[in-house]
Amino acid sequence: MAAPGIGAAGGITPAPEAGALQGTLSLLSERIERLAMDMDKAQLREYVDLVHKPWLLIWRNFISGLSRGIGIALGFTFFAATIVWMLQVLGKLNLPIVGDYIADIVRIVQRQLQINPY
């Protein structure tokens, strides 16, 4: 019987620990590859670039805030114009219930303006 590590032909056979080590290395390599892909998906590099360039971060936040503000202003304008248009259409229909409701609102606003002139 041959000694462990020496084959029948006199060549060296890999020890069982070497196979386990090879499996561990391949598993570690797969996990590192998966971690690299996850970091790429998370755009970690872009975040680190922004941390090192604060003026770029400020500029992007400024543009983002400006865009949000313009979007909100345009959206509210469209919404308010639609409401005013609907009230005008209802006013032209001269419906008794709606007309009375709008007249009450106008009276309340006029009374409030007389009490607290700005």
Spatial distance between the Cα atoms of 28 and 32, rounded to a whole number of angstroms: 6
Domain ranges, ordered by start, for the chain: 18-46
Choose between 64 and 84: higher pLDDT: 64
The position carrying tokens 């609102």 is 105
Predicted local distance difference test score (pLDDT) of residue 1: 46
Predicted local distance difference test score (pLDDT) of residue 14: 57
- Phi (first) and psi of residue 117, to 5 degrees: -70, 140
pTM here is 0.47
Predicted local distance difference test score (pLDDT) of residue 95: 74
Residue 10 is given by DSSP the state S
**Each residue of 3-39: pLDDT tens digit?**
555 555 555 655 667 778 888 999 999 999 999 898 8
Pick the closest to residue 89 from 81, 109, 73 (CA basis). Answer: 81
